[in-house]
Structure 1
Amino acid sequence: GEQPKPQRAKVYRLEKTDDDSSGWTDKGTGYACIDYDEEKKFICIIVTSEKDENVTLLKTKLHQEKIYHQERESLIVWQEPGTEDDLALSFSDKQSCKDFWDRMTEIQMKCKEFDDHDEDEYSDSSDIGVLELPPVNLANLEKIYKVLSNGSPIIQSTLAGSLISEIDYFDQLFDLAEGLDDEDLRRKHICFDMFKKIILLNDPNLLQILFSDKYILRLVEVLESDPDVPLSKRVKHREFLTEHSSFKEVVPIEDKYVVSKIHQTYRVKYLKDSILMGALDDGTQATIDNIIIYNNLEIVSSLQDDDTFLKLVFEGIKETEDVAKVRDLVAFLRNFCDLSKILTEEVRSKYFQNLLEHGLASTFEKAFSVDDPVTQQHVIEIFSQTMLYRDIDVREYILDSTGDTFPLLRIMSEKLIASVDPAVMGQFADIFRRLVDTDNIDTMWRRKEEFLSVVYKFWFPSQLLESMLNPSLDPLACTLKSHLFDLLSFCIARHGSRVRSFITSNNIIEKVLEPNLKGPGFLTLAVIRLFRQVVGDKDTKMEMYLTSKNLYHPIMNTFKEHSDRYNMVNSAIIELFDFINKEYDKNYRLIGYLVERFRNEFENVTYVPIFGQLIQKYELHQDFESQGNQSEPKAGTKRRREEFDEEDAYFNTVSDEPSTPPISEESEENELGAGLPPLKASNKADDEDDEMVVPAKKKRKLQIKSISYHKGVHNNTSVVEANKPPKEE
């Protein structure tokens, strides 16, 4: 344990003077502590000179007898047994004396608990040395248990050192425990508790000895005699580990040290999770976990540097036709990759780089093509971990594949489409998203566009498009399409014109809306998410694609079906129009398209304000159009006009006919034309009524595009004539 701070004190000895009288002689001032004397093998009171730490003013054995007395709160006096020398320590203050006294009496009390042993039984350099344990025999079994069960931190801190220093002590303890008769349950229970106490000492070096090949199985057997478990329910743990639990070497490991670490790690995990589950404190459990982690680190480091071993693993996967053999090899590779999770991010990236350099990527095609669900699960996990750290290397491998069929993409797509397990479909969808996620691609990678070209010219059209457009509402088909729609939504947010071209050229949105909006709820939501992502892209061409093909109609039909259900479909469509209301608030073409077609539906929705706001924006815009040619615009019109953006006005025609709307001299900015670009004014004026005239050749027409329908007649534009105000003379 950690030594308390030495206390400053003066040493006195009672000595005879020349006149045969006695008096206290000052032996000097120093620092007093209680420590173990390596030479004499007992605990001492030691005072070292404050002037020279190499000078010892006092070194005397700390006795268990009650010979020490505290006087006047700063003085400790005693008479040495045998020599009858009178000694005293005078401390600089009361608190220092109290601290030293408490320390001394505590050690005396703890030592007294072991009064069957002499103080010279301590033999290490900790607080009170290392305890010399009783000899191992049946007669001393309870005494040994008593020593190991002592709850004093001071004593427990010495036990681990004592056990380590007497390594044969373990052999004797195990021999004693194994020699007990099965009927001698009391002693077997004592042995169980004794070894449990040894483990709970939580000393890493001691645990390494217990978990070594020499002792681990013997320890497991002793721990079978748990007194808290009835005899009928006790498990033969050693028999399980030696006979039923086997270590399968799918590829021979030549390094015996690595094999030993693999065995030890498995057995220690079994011990922690099965035998001592719930019996370990947090500190001991953390120490055992660290032992497991360090073992795994050694295993990973050794095997990844073994070129011969890695070559055998990868060639075995690629060349063998035995499905069971491939399953075992891939399972081992999965476990090997899982072990690397203890590595730091940078080291783990190099770890996967090393595996790829030895041929990991080439094993994916064979492993994915194996018709075995267990193998599929393992290879999906390996691929996911590889993509997490070396995604560019995987894409490079795909691009460098021989031929133009890109076998890895083709095989994975076929497995996704053929899967009958929705969970596996989700896993494939996840790794596909990682493959096409270009946001995390290094900007220095020059083959990004080449890879995206493969995605949209080969992979999606030839492998996934048919499944996307499949009208079937079979449960598996619906699950597959929902994942593919989400994958396409993911791409829309990242790949710009490439994915838009893929969607429009194959008319995907139109083909998937009608059949899939009538499907189960999760598929309907996937379609709405896809539509919402297209709208959220805010691309003009995609907007025209949606409106020209009237693709909002299926969405509104679905909304009407769910308008009174307040479910996720209803909420998703409301969110879509809320987005349009906020992000397309000045796009009067789209707002006009929606309101003119779905006004009745909008007016029937009163539980959210979104649709009413769209109608209001449409009416304000229409009001502006209708007021454009009036000589006296209304005050409300002037205020609402300011809400419209200049982008909605197109100046594309010129008229020769004069027009002279009145211009207020007080404020030009508040008039209807205030928001329009300024036009040059004439300098001529009428002397009689001071009316300003705009020359006809300078007059322009303000063309505001809109879409309106009246009695089946399509009117694409309305023209509002506008004149600039003339300058005052």
Structure 2
Amino acid sequence: MEGGSSLDQLFRDDIKPRDLPPCDVEHLDEILLVLKTSHPTVRSKVLKDLTDKDGAYIVKLLDLFDVCELDADKTVLHKLFDIFYAMLEMCNRGVIEILLNETNFISVVGVFGYNPGLIREMDFRTALEGDGGFQEVIPITDRRVVERVHMNFRIQVIKDNVLSRSLPDGCVLLLEHMANENNFHILSFISETEDYWKSIKDLVSSSDKRVDGLGLLKAIISMARVTKPLDRPQRREPFGARPVFGSFIDDLFSDGELFAAFGTILGSPDSKPMEVALAVDILNMLVVYQGPDRLRSYLASEGKCIPAPASDKERITWTPDSSLFTALLVVFERNEPLRIQLFNLLREIFRVPLGQDDKFLSVFYPNYMHWLLQPLKNNAFVPDESAMFDLQDSIMELLTFCTENHGYRVKYLFGRQPIATYAEKMLRSTNKLFVIHAVKFVRACAVRAEAFFSRFLIQNDLFTPMLANLEIGKPNTGAVGSVILEVLSFIEKTNLTSLVEHIYTKFYETYKAECPLVFEAIRTRHDGNTGSEDVDMSSADANKVQFVRAGSIDDEEELYFEKDTEPTESSPEFTKNGLSEEEVPCQNRPRSIKLVDYDDDDDESTTKKENISTDLISTSPRGADIEEEERELKLPVRKKKEDEVDTQSFLGGSNVLAQKKAQQSSKKARSPQFKNVFQKISWKLGTPNSSENGSSSTTPAAEKIGGNNSDGKQDDSNSNSVGSDDAAGVDGGNVESAALAAAKRKLALEEVTNSESLLKKAKTCTPISSS
């Protein structure tokens, strides 16, 4: 109910529209109050009174302004400014059209000149009332189009000059919409009138009114670029969007007549600076807002190529028979104020997609590239103090761009032109900007990541003058030092092997103290490439041995085979020492095993054992010891010796030995099939000490095999991985070798017994890795 009552208060019946106050000085405050605080129900009445009789009330206020301006009463003039500003804030198109019509516009500009928010009054009327009025280059027969042109000019004056920072947002949007609508109708008239745009081409080709024709063409292209469709909602378009009247621009430049005229304007020595500047502006607008394809296609098909230079001192010149490309190079070389615009223009033209580079680049490289590089041949690379953009800088930057983006043609260019000499001169220059551009060229060669460019940098020794710019013994924190170190860091990160090796072998010792972070990274990369950080091996085949870490994925399977499957024994307890990571050779890792043992495998057992024994002898660093052990392992049963008693008691105690011997006597002894499973176990070579290991029959299997005794320090000191120093095994003699062989045989026989339980688990779908 409260909301309804407030709405009723807003549109209550006692609010009646009233007439505007009289136009005199005494009622200025009342007029301002009515314009700023008009109720929504009476706002339409206020707007109707302002626009009635072609704005008669507004004309009376302007007459009052003329009188008060003669009296120079600033208080009254400031009140009049507030009144007219309130009219703009109403955002009514009819009111704005009355304010900006031909009869009222100058006086309205005078009113807005007395802005109380400014430090001083701005006199805009003097410039508008001068001689620089409307100039109709080509007569327009439609008077409505002429009025739209004038209205756009006035909107631009108010929006961009008189009230450029104080207009309300709603008024700005309305003014932009009005200007866009006028542009649409103007361009529609020009595109539909063939005689009009043909007259534009005639003006550009003539010599007496060329400036006016170029100015008109630039204005039309700018208008076509910003004009939006009228039936589309007003929103900000993305940069470079194709204009609505793109087909009209295509019609203007489709026959190439304007491009030919531009070649004459840019190359002729009789052209005025204003004409050259306008022609360059128009070409940049075409390339930036419509893409370089049209201009690139014309340059590739126009012909008129000039012959190659006869000497190093010859400079490019333009003749009436020369091409537009020749004229562009002439302006690029000799017109320093326009050099940055030509540089951006040429760079966009050179940005050729890889699939479309045949036609244009096949014309550019044989006919124009040598002329582009010609100023570098007879130049001492002395910077011009009066020039903001040096010619050498711009040429080297274009060459860097071509190196990065063009393919095989750059390689032919490097072979035919002394590019390395130009780069070396710039690297040795005292001008820091020259050095930076040359370093960027070196980086562009490295970015290609091809052997050709790496050889080019190494054979021409470009790193020597480049690194010479680093100050030895001083912090290289400047722009030159930073860009050099960035190139070195890029080479290291991308691992360009030949360049890394060249920098390390030739410059590491000299410059390693200047930037330790970068040069140490290069040294590390070089060592990784050459393999100098590998583990030292004494044997001839040591470099072929690869290492893996114990405790990897296979540990779970191997620990299952090491576990005793008897139900009376407890599960093994895995300690940190027992599962510690160590490096073992890949050659000694367990091979794949079979879950089912078939009888037909007995016929092949002898051949398999011989092959395995041969492989072990050929690859193991222990040589003759392994051969002796394998020869003993071939025997199915042999007589127990006194040395074996001590070894078996060391591994598990007498009770466990008796149990395993009973199992052996109940079955037919066969050659072990899983002898490689335990190759990674660390053996304690030498005479075992039974007091340390104990002889209890309840010792877990993992402790018996892994050597986890009560004395942790002694266990760590005696546990060595296979493939490490084996001098202790050699010193032990025949007793230690026999003990080792007996222990391996016992473990292999144990695995034959455990294979049956493995088969049972496999048939019952029991996970192999379960304990």
TM-score, scaled to structure 2: 0.60
Q: Which of 407, 412, 416 pairs up with 2:328? A: 412
Does the aligned pair in 1 maintain the 2:81–2:111 contact within 8 Å?
yes
For residue 617 of structure 1, report the CA deviation from its aligned partner: 4.1
Q: 1:544 to 1:630 in 2, by over 3 A?
A: farther
Amino acid of the structure 2 residue aligned with 1:594: I
Q: 1:301 to 1:623 in 2, by over 3 A?
A: same
**Residue in structure 1 matched with residue 6 of structure 2 by the alignment:** 102
Q: Which of 363, 372, 376 pairs up with 1:454? A: 363
Q: Which of 397, 420, 428 pairs up with 1:509? A: 420
Cα deviation digits, residues 614-673 of structure 1 (max 9, x gap) = 334444555659999962566999569xxxxxxxxxxxxxxxxxxxxxx9851599xxxx
Cα deviation digits, residues 90-140 of structure 1 (max 9, x gap) = xxxxx1xx44443444445972xxxxxxx4xx5xxxxxxxx5445767887
**Residue in structure 2 matched with residue 263 of structure 1 by the alignment:** 150
- Report the Cα distance in structure 1 between the residues aligned to 2:531 and 2:301, rounded to whole angstroms: 62
- Report the Cα distance in structure 1 between the residues aligned to 2:530 and 2:3, rounded to whole angstroms: 92
Work out which structure has the larger RCO, using CA pairs closer than 8 Å and 6 or more positions apart in sequence: 2
Does the aligned pair in 1 maintain the 2:435–2:480 contact within 8 Å?
yes
- Report the Cα distance in structure 2 between the residues aligned to 1:474 and 1:397, rounded to whole angstroms: 35
For residue 383 of structure 1, report the CA deviation from its aligned partner: 0.7
Q: 1:541 to 1:630 in 2, by over 3 A?
A: farther
Amino acid of the structure 1 residue aligned with 2:410: V
For residue 495 of structure 1, report the CA deviation from its aligned partner: 1.1
- Report the Cα distance in structure 2 between the residues aligned to 1:693 and 1:183, rounded to whole angstroms: 114
- Report the Cα distance in structure 1 between the residues aligned to 2:388 and 2:91, rounded to whole angstroms: 56
SS of 1:604's partner is coil
Q: Which of 135, 147, 163 pairs up with 2:50? A: 163
Does the aligned pair in 1 maintain the 2:23–2:61 contact within 8 Å?
no
Does the aligned pair in 2 maintain the 1:429–1:483 contact within 8 Å?
yes
Deviates more, 1:528-537 or 1:217-226: 217-226
**Residue in structure 1 matched with residue 71 of structure 2 by the alignment:** 183
1:297 and 2:184 correspond: yes
Q: Which of 281, 287, 296 pairs up with 2:168? A: 281
Q: Which of 396, 414, 421 pairs up with 2:297? A: 396
Q: Which of 399, 403, 422 pairs up with 1:492? A: 403
Q: 1:509 to 1:156 in 2, by over 3 A?
A: farther
- Structure 2 gaps of 5+ residues are 229-240, 307-321, 549-584, 592-607, 621-771
Amino acid of the structure 2 residue aligned with 1:398: L
Deviates more, 1:448-457 or 1:305-314: 305-314
Does the aligned pair in 1 maintain the 2:152–2:182 contact within 8 Å?
yes
Amino acid of the structure 1 residue aligned with 2:267: S
**Residue in structure 1 matched with residue 439 of structure 2 by the alignment:** 528
Amino acid of the structure 1 residue aligned with 2:168: D
- Report the Cα distance in structure 2 between the residues aligned to 1:331 and 1:593, rounded to whole angstroms: 57
TM-score, scaled to structure 1: 0.64
Q: 1:495 to 1:161 in 2, by over 3 A?
A: same
For residue 390 of structure 1, report the CA deviation from its aligned partner: 4.4
Does the aligned pair in 1 maintain the 2:365–2:409 contact within 8 Å?
yes
For residue 335 of structure 1, report the CA deviation from its aligned partner: 2.6
SS of 2:468's partner is helix
Q: Which of 376, 381, 387 pairs up with 1:467? A: 376
- Report the Cα distance in structure 1 between the residues aligned to 2:520 and 2:542, rounded to whole angstroms: 23
- Report the Cα distance in structure 2 between the residues aligned to 1:147 and 1:624, rounded to whole angstroms: 91
SS of 2:390's partner is helix
**RMSD over equivalenced CA pairs, Å:** 4.1
Does the aligned pair in 2 maintain the 1:136–1:172 contact within 8 Å?
no
1:601 and 2:487 correspond: no
Q: 1:203 to 1:593 in 2, by over 3 A?
A: same
- Report the Cα distance in structure 1 between the residues aligned to 2:471 and 2:359, rounded to whole angstroms: 44
Amino acid of the structure 1 residue aligned with 2:134: F
- Report the Cα distance in structure 2 between the residues aligned to 1:280 and 1:596, rounded to whole angstroms: 68
**Residue in structure 1 matched with residue 199 of structure 2 by the alignment:** 312
For residue 530 of structure 1, report the CA deviation from its aligned partner: 0.5
- Report the Cα distance in structure 1 between the residues aligned to 2:529 and 2:301, rounded to whole angstroms: 56
- Report the Cα distance in structure 1 between the residues aligned to 2:224 and 2:153, rounded to whole angstroms: 16
Does the aligned pair in 2 maintain the 1:352–1:390 contact within 8 Å?
no
Does the aligned pair in 2 maintain the 1:563–1:570 contact within 8 Å?
no
**Residue in structure 2 matched with residue 71 of structure 1 by the alignment:** none
1:236-275 aligned at under 5 Å gives the runs 237-238=124-125, 240-275=127-162
Amino acid of the structure 1 residue aligned with 2:262: F
Deviates more, 1:627-636 or 1:256-265: 627-636
Cα deviation digits, residues 682-722 of structure 1 (max 9, x gap) = 9998999984499xxxxxxxxxxxxxxxxxxxxxxxxxxxx
- Report the Cα distance in structure 1 between the residues aligned to 2:512 and 2:590, rounded to whole angstroms: 38
For residue 418 of structure 1, report the CA deviation from its aligned partner: 0.8
- Identical-pair percentage: 17
**Residue in structure 1 matched with residue 279 of structure 2 by the alignment:** 379
SS of 1:559's partner is coil
For residue 427 of structure 1, report the CA deviation from its aligned partner: 1.4
1:631 and 2:539 correspond: yes
Does the aligned pair in 1 maintain the 2:98–2:104 contact within 8 Å?
yes
Structure number with the higher helix fraction is 2
**Residue in structure 1 matched with residue 522 of structure 2 by the alignment:** 614
Deviates more, 1:373-382 or 1:212-221: 212-221
Amino acid of the structure 1 residue aligned with 2:252: L
For residue 194 of structure 1, report the CA deviation from its aligned partner: 3.3
For residue 300 of structure 1, report the CA deviation from its aligned partner: 3.3
For residue 366 of structure 1, report the CA deviation from its aligned partner: 2.6
Cα deviation digits, residues 151-200 of structure 1 (max 9, x gap) = 54443354223433553534762575377463384766655443333222
**Residue in structure 2 matched with residue 216 of structure 1 by the alignment:** 105
SS of 1:205's partner is helix
**Residue in structure 2 matched with residue 676 of structure 1 by the alignment:** none
For residue 488 of structure 1, report the CA deviation from its aligned partner: 1.4
- Report the Cα distance in structure 2 between the residues aligned to 1:202 and 1:477, rounded to whole angstroms: 47
Q: 1:134 to 1:576 in 2, by over 3 A?
A: closer
SS of 2:469's partner is helix
Q: 1:478 to 1:684 in 2, by over 3 A?
A: farther
For residue 414 of structure 1, report the CA deviation from its aligned partner: 0.9
Q: Which of 338, 341, 348 pairs up with 2:225? A: 341
Does the aligned pair in 2 maintain the 1:485–1:530 contact within 8 Å?
yes
Q: 1:624 to 1:310 in 2, by over 3 A?
A: same
Q: 1:329 to 1:517 in 2, by over 3 A?
A: farther
**Residue in structure 1 matched with residue 466 of structure 2 by the alignment:** 555
Structure number with the higher strand fraction is 1
**Residue in structure 2 matched with residue 198 of structure 1 by the alignment:** 87
Deviates more, 1:516-525 or 1:278-287: 278-287
For residue 438 of structure 1, report the CA deviation from its aligned partner: 0.9
SS of 1:472's partner is coil
- Report the Cα distance in structure 1 between the residues aligned to 2:298 and 2:100, rounded to whole angstroms: 44
Q: 1:539 to 1:151 in 2, by over 3 A?
A: same
Q: 1:477 to 1:179 in 2, by over 3 A?
A: closer
Does the aligned pair in 2 maintain the 1:364–1:379 contact within 8 Å?
yes
- Report the Cα distance in structure 2 between the residues aligned to 1:435 and 1:555, rounded to whole angstroms: 30
- Report the Cα distance in structure 1 between the residues aligned to 2:531 and 2:25, rounded to whole angstroms: 106
Cα deviation digits, residues 561-615 of structure 1 (max 9, x gap) = 6963321211111121212212225x2x44333322223224334532x322333
Question: Which structure's CA Rg is the greater one?
Answer: 2
Q: 1:542 to 1:243 in 2, by over 3 A?
A: closer
Does the aligned pair in 1 maintain the 2:101–2:151 contact within 8 Å?
yes
Q: 1:581 to 1:395 in 2, by over 3 A?
A: same
Does the aligned pair in 2 maintain the 1:156–1:201 contact within 8 Å?
no
Q: 1:145 to 1:611 in 2, by over 3 A?
A: closer
Aligned length: 532
SS of 1:217's partner is helix
Amino acid of the structure 2 residue aligned with 1:204: R
- Report the Cα distance in structure 1 between the residues aligned to 2:157 and 2:4, rounded to whole angstroms: 47
1:434-453 aligned at under 5 Å gives the runs 434-439=348-353, 448-453=357-362
Cα deviation digits, residues 245-284 of structure 1 (max 9, x gap) = 3222333333333332222222232234444455532222
Q: 1:110 to 1:543 in 2, by over 3 A?
A: farther
For residue 458 of structure 1, report the CA deviation from its aligned partner: 0.8
- Report the Cα distance in structure 1 between the residues aligned to 2:615 and 2:160, rounded to whole angstroms: 103
Amino acid of the structure 2 residue aligned with 1:216: F
- Report the Cα distance in structure 1 between the residues aligned to 2:473 and 2:480, rounded to whole angstroms: 7
- Report the Cα distance in structure 2 between the residues aligned to 1:693 and 1:202, rounded to whole angstroms: 94
